[in-house]
Amino acid sequence: MPEIGDVAPEFCLPDQDGKEVCLKDFRGKWVVLYFYPKDNTSGCTREAIDFTENLKDFEALEAVVLGVSKDSVKSHKNFREKHNLKITLLSDPEHRVIEAYGAWKLKKRYGREYFGTERSTFIIDPDGKIRYIWRNVKVKGHVEEVKNRLKELMGRS
């Protein structure tokens, strides 16, 4: 499981349009990489909308926002269109990247155990190193917290 200071695990995944997106493509930029359980669920929708509403602030900081779930490319495309999302969504159906970042967890719901994605966010610096990690994220206020931490890490607080 990656820790703060580690080199971020490399990956290439298809985005909502089926175009391959690789982490290495963003060298020289800050990356906010967030993992979420499922398109069109209440918490995941709120989080994606919050990131979209704050996207101009992240872009002003020269940061890219990437959301990852195990949903299909088609699901991501529909999710973006339905909620007018502007962030890039990456499809990881085999959850290889989700696992590489330690976000694939045993979960419990209604007494049932199953594996799924733990809502997690990583800030990756322009050199590809992990600079901050949130695990088991609560959606309310999270995007603002990410933005503030990014400014702090950049020395712009």
- What's the CATH code of the domain at 128? 3.40.30.10
Q: Which domain holds residue 50?
A: 12-153
| Closest C-alpha to 149, from 1, 4, 14 | 4
Contact (Cβ atoms closer than 8 angstroms) between residue 18 and residue 73: yes
Is 22 an active-site residue?
no
Q: Which residue is catalytic, options 44, 65, 68, 103?
A: 44
Residue 3 lies in a domain: no
Q: Is residue 79 part of a domain?
A: yes
Look at residue 91 and tell me if it is in a domain.
yes
Spell out the per-residue pLDDT of the chain, length 157, in tens. Answer: 899 999 999 999 999 999 999 999 999 999 999 999 999 999 999 999 999 999 999 999 999 999 999 999 999 999 999 999 999 999 999 999 999 999 999 888 888 898 999 999 999 999 999 999 999 999 999 999 999 999 999 998 6
Identify whether 7 is part of a domain.
no
Domain count, the chain: 1
Residue 2 is assigned to a structural domain of this protein: no
Q: Give a yes or no: residue 39 inside a domain.
A: yes
